[in-house]
Chain A
Amino acid sequence: MARYLLVRLLQSLVTLVLASMVVFAGVRALPGDPARALAGEDADPAAVAAIRARLGLDDPLPVQYLKFVGNLLHGDLGTSVRTGQPVIDLIKATLPVTLWLSLFAVLIAVVVGIGAGTAAAVWRGRWPEWVANLAALVGLSVPSFWLGILAILYLAVGLHWFPASGYVPLTDDPLRGIYYLVMPAAVLGTALAAVVMRQTRASMIATLTTDYVRTARAKGLPRSKVLTGFALRNSMIVVVTIVGLQLGGLISGAVVTERIFGLPGFGKLTLDSVFTRDYPVIEAVVLVVTVAYIVINLVVDLVYSLINPRIRVGGRTS
């Protein structure tokens, strides 16, 4: 297991290096000149050149890249061209908001999705399946910005159940923090819940017709035990994969949700930095998302091997 982890970490490192190159090159391929953007529309060429020299944009690209990596290794993500704040501070301030939002979204999606998917598989061809299928179809089809606006209009403005916008750090006041997060998280998690529901339903139906489920019943195991211990557990293998794949997408999806609910999150930081060609911030943002993807994938693989002994590392067929 330790060996496996080590190999996986090394692989992740390679991914990270490659990602940093792509990010670096990609950001520089963006149309628009940050020095000009910073100097203003009508600035004279000398001022633009001065800014360019200060930012090190005069250096050849490989030199710029090496400087960028060198700084990274020292934990220095640079300074925002736009605000002059250290990038690391910007990230520290915004990342937790997005992480909490995504975490709650996944939690809601998994609980609702697995519950509804199981119900749909067990009561196949009856009303619970119809309701779950319809809900999943709607959940997948409705764009999240529209769902967000509807939620604000009816649940916040109309019924006053939840606040329309705003954020309270969970570290300051957990209860109020959750209260503020529930609605945006539910909106963000809707599409994922629909995907999880469909996957759970499909793999449960497949598992319920397997020979080993029949054998379990032939042993005299009660139906409830067969459902939870056999069918659900084996179905989870597929579900975990899907959730893992979708999790990264959730972080990017948070951009829109944060905008609608006025959350001071990572998505807002991303948008702002892209619009102002704030190179250091864009680079840092993309790198953080890359690291998040890598970590999520690692965790998914480990969880995967926990629920599926067939791919457990070091497991061998004798």
Chain B
Amino acid sequence: MPSDDEALLSVTGLEVSFRTHEGLRPVVHGVDLRVARGERVAVVGESGSGKSTTAAAVIGLLPGTGTVSGGRVSFAGEDVTHADEKRLQRLRGREIGLIPQDPMSNLNPATRVGHQVAETLLAHRLAGRSAARKRAVELLGEAGIPEPERRYRQYPHELSGGLRQRVLIAIALACEPDLLIADEPTSALDVTVQRGILDHLERLRAERGASLLFVTHDLGLAADRADRVVVMSQGRIVEEGPAARILREPQHEYTKALVAAAPSLASARAAREAAATPDAAPAGSGSEPILVVDDLVRSFRIRGRSERLTAVDHVSFEVRPGTTTAVVGESGSGKTTLARLVLGLDTPDAGEVRVDSEHVATATGARRRAIRRAMQPVFQDPYASLDPMFTVEHLVDEPLRVFKVGDRASRRSRVAELLDHVALPRSVAQRHPTELSGGQRQRVAIARALALEPRLMVCDEAVSALDVLVQDQILTLLGDLQRDLGLTYLFITHDLAVVRLVAHDVVVMQQGTVVESGPVEAVFDAPEAGYTRELLAAIPGAGLVS
């Protein structure tokens, strides 16, 4: 760690608290952090670890009732801990640039994007109106936005997520700040887009000689992009050191768990282990497929355009019982439409989906209900997919009530049994989803899906909204359930690293078509399609482990 004198940013004993009814509640406890000139430091931790709060405290933008209740923040030798609003205004944007997390929500929807860049220059009186406009166009171009002149005049909703993130980078770099704070700058983006943007950001940062404080939940990404990694947990720094050292020889228990759970790293290890051990015969081989997707087509009309968008374009594959087939692709690849078609929530234009040789789209009455029972979904967002007004018991036994299974007493004991299956204490039955953590909620969603003893579970991004450690637990749970109950999974995900950990077979989708499919080992070790290779290369941190 650089000494206080040479550090550009120096945080000493920082304590941040939130005002509650019971008084001040500290969430960041005595954090010490230094960033030298030109240095790249990553702060890694799960949600709630205090990493973003620490970054927000540096620029005096703590949310809600947050306040710095102890310690010191100094920038370029000047104490700015309790600086007044005027001083902070100069600090923000001019001396410290912030690249926020979500490109969808961080641009003013009512203002042209170019103006949002120019505004920064105008606020700091670095240029007059026309000069600021001209410079903003240049900045958009430098941030890697094609046709910057045209894009300048567009509104945020007219730009893709990747382009919006580039606009945010242009804004952060506009005044050539000495320090860039990047708070999960690409976690809302697809991996290939993420890689392009981070490479570009690194180039711009290096040219300007700026320092970087990189906040992320992804240890692999942190190791890829920073010289030094600081690991935070529950508001404290638990470990710090050079990136490669942290990954290879983590000292603290928490860091060890994090390294073990990070899918990008774990999948790299899985690859080595797979190479070392002879391949066990995959379950269910030779038996009849449980799910057949045959030449499926689904297109949508887009408002204001004549041509239709083909979301699923002649897709075929089979899923063997007791195995996991992953469908992987980036946003817009059609994987969610495919999931809806498989579940019978949407009707295909052509082709068919068969579950146990029954046609999903055309089955009616008892046969349709039988298919519905055999196949249950688990969705991405456990905060949105559980009705907050219901108790956990009510949520889990709902499918039983809908299908009129058992009486009240038998349903109650079944719920208890299901909670055991997903490793939740039986006492949560009478609680509401709002009282549970994200991981617990996803367990409830899985318990609900298990209620009817389905044979096939369709998991649509079922672990994407969860922190790595929780994600690891849920993946383990799914694996255990598969082994104990002989479940089959159709696992829809954007995350190739997760695929390697859980799937037997993989289907890679791009713009509605299947570009490659086959056993996971074959696809990962010898990818044929260029797109698959690109996806694999974009998994962060993989190179550091092997």
State the A residues within 8 Å of B (CB): 209-212, 214-223, 225, 229-230, 233-234, 237, 307-310, 314-318
Q: Does B102 contact A (CB under 8 A)?
A: yes
Least distance between A116 CB and chain B CB atoms (Å): 23
CA distance A310 to B160 in the complex (A): 14
Chain A residues near B119 (CB, 8 Å)?
Answer: 219, 221
Q: Does B373 contact A (CB under 8 A)?
A: no
Known: A219-B119, A221-B89. 17 other contacts (CB 8 A): A211-B105, A212-B105, A212-B109, A214-B63, A214-B100, A217-B92, A218-B61, A218-B100, A219-B93, A220-B120, A221-B123, A222-B89, A222-B123, A234-B109, A315-B157, A317-B158, A318-B158
0 or 1 for each of B20-61: is its CB under 8 Å from A? (1 = yes): 000000000000000000000000000000000000000101
Nearest to B124 among chain A residues (CB) is A220
Chain A residues near B331 (CB, 8 Å)?
Answer: none
CA distance A214 to B59 in the complex (A): 11
Q: Does B168 contact A (CB under 8 A)?
A: yes
Contact A310 B100 (CB under 8 A): no
Chain B residues near A220 (CB, 8 Å)?
Answer: 89-94, 120, 123-124, 175
Least distance between B146 CB and chain A CB atoms (Å): 11
Q: Which of B64, B100, B157, B158 contacts A211 (CB 8 A)?
A: B100
Q: Which of A217, A309, A316 contacts B61 (CB 8 A)?
A: A217
Residue with the greatest number of chain B CB neighbours at <10 A, chosen from A211, A212, A237: A212
Chain B residues near A214 (CB, 8 Å)?
Answer: 61, 63, 100, 106
Contact A310 B157 (CB under 8 A): yes
Q: Which of A211, A218, A234 contacts B93 (CB 8 A)?
A: A218
Chain B residues near A211 (CB, 8 Å)?
Answer: 100-102, 105-106
Contact A318 B92 (CB under 8 A): no
CA distance A109 to B100 in the complex (A): 38
Contact B59 A223 (CB under 8 A): no
0 or 1 for each of B147-170: is its CB under 8 Å from A? (1 = yes): 000000011011110000000100
Chain A residues near B123 (CB, 8 Å)?
Answer: 219-222, 225
Q: Does B145 contact A (CB under 8 A)?
A: no
Contact B109 A223 (CB under 8 A): no
Contact B98 A215 (CB under 8 A): yes
CA distance A318 to B153 in the complex (A): 13
Q: Does B110 contact A (CB under 8 A)?
A: yes
How many cross-chain pairs have Cβ atoms below 8 Å apart between A and B? 87
CA distance A310 to B107 in the complex (A): 13
CA distance A294 to B61 in the complex (A): 46
Nearest to B90 among chain A residues (CB) is A220
Q: Does B108 contact A (CB under 8 A)?
A: yes
Q: How many chain B residues have a CB neighbour from A under 8 Å?
A: 37
3 A-B pairs with least C-beta separation: A220-B93, A218-B98, A211-B105
CA distance A214 to B100 in the complex (A): 9
Residue with the greatest number of chain B CB neighbours at <10 A, chosen from A216, A316, A317: A216
CA distance A233 to B111 in the complex (A): 10
> Could you jot down 17 A-B contacts, CB within 8 Å?
A209-B63, A212-B105, A212-B108, A215-B107, A218-B59, A218-B93, A219-B123, A221-B123, A233-B110, A234-B110, A237-B110, A309-B155, A309-B157, A310-B155, A315-B158, A317-B157, A318-B159
Chain B residues near A216 (CB, 8 Å)?
Answer: 108
Q: Does B304 contact A (CB under 8 A)?
A: yes
Contact A215 B100 (CB under 8 A): yes
CA distance A219 to B63 in the complex (A): 16
Chain A residues near B94 (CB, 8 Å)?
Answer: 220
Nearest to A210 among chain B residues (CB) is B105
CA distance A212 to B113 in the complex (A): 12
Q: Does B171 contact A (CB under 8 A)?
A: yes
Least distance between B100 CB and chain A CB atoms (Å): 5
Q: Does B407 contact A (CB under 8 A)?
A: no
Chain B residues near A307 (CB, 8 Å)?
Answer: 110
Contact B106 A219 (CB under 8 A): no
Contact B171 A310 (CB under 8 A): no
Least distance between B158 CB and chain A CB atoms (Å): 5
Chain B residues near A225 (CB, 8 Å)?
Answer: 123
Least distance between A91 CB and chain B CB atoms (Å): 40
Q: Does B273 contact A (CB under 8 A)?
A: no
CA distance A35 to B453 in the complex (A): 75
Least distance between A79 CB and chain B CB atoms (Å): 49
Q: Does B435 contact A (CB under 8 A)?
A: no
Least distance between B179 CB and chain A CB atoms (Å): 12
Least distance between A100 CB and chain B CB atoms (Å): 32
CA distance A107 to B64 in the complex (A): 34
CA distance A220 to B95 in the complex (A): 10
Q: Which of A212, A215, A223 contacts B85 (CB 8 A)?
A: A223
Chain B residues near A237 (CB, 8 Å)?
Answer: 110
Chain B residues near A221 (CB, 8 Å)?
Answer: 89, 93, 119-120, 123
Residue with the greatest number of chain B CB neighbours at <10 A, chosen from A211, A219, A221, A314: A219
With A220-B94, A221-B119, A309-B110 in contact, do A316 and B100 touch (Cβ < 8 Å)? no
Residue with the greatest number of chain A CB neighbours at <10 A, chosen from B100, B157, B304: B157
Chain B residues near A223 (CB, 8 Å)?
Answer: 85
Contact A215 B158 (CB under 8 A): no
Contact A316 B108 (CB under 8 A): no
Chain A residues near B171 (CB, 8 Å)?
Answer: 215, 219
CA distance A309 to B155 in the complex (A): 7
CA distance A221 to B124 in the complex (A): 8
Chain B residues near A310 (CB, 8 Å)?
Answer: 109, 155, 157
Chain B residues near A222 (CB, 8 Å)?
Answer: 89, 123
CA distance A159 to B509 in the complex (A): 78
Chain B residues near A315 (CB, 8 Å)?
Answer: 155, 157-158
Least distance between B343 CB and chain A CB atoms (Å): 27
Q: Which of B90, B102, B110 contacts A308 (CB 8 A)?
A: B110
Least distance between A6 CB and chain B CB atoms (Å): 16
Chain B residues near A314 (CB, 8 Å)?
Answer: 304
CA distance A170 to B154 in the complex (A): 44
Nearest to A125 among chain B residues (CB) is B65
Least distance between A211 CB and chain B CB atoms (Å): 4
Least distance between B24 CB and chain A CB atoms (Å): 17
CA distance A218 to B168 in the complex (A): 11
CA distance A318 to B161 in the complex (A): 11
Chain B residues near A233 (CB, 8 Å)?
Answer: 110
Nearest to A212 among chain B residues (CB) is B108
Least distance between B121 CB and chain A CB atoms (Å): 10
CA distance A225 to B85 in the complex (A): 14
Nearest to B65 among chain A residues (CB) is A125
Residue with the greatest number of chain A CB neighbours at <10 A, chosen from B89, B94, B107, B110: B110
Least distance between B210 CB and chain A CB atoms (Å): 16
Chain A residues near B61 (CB, 8 Å)?
Answer: 214, 217-218
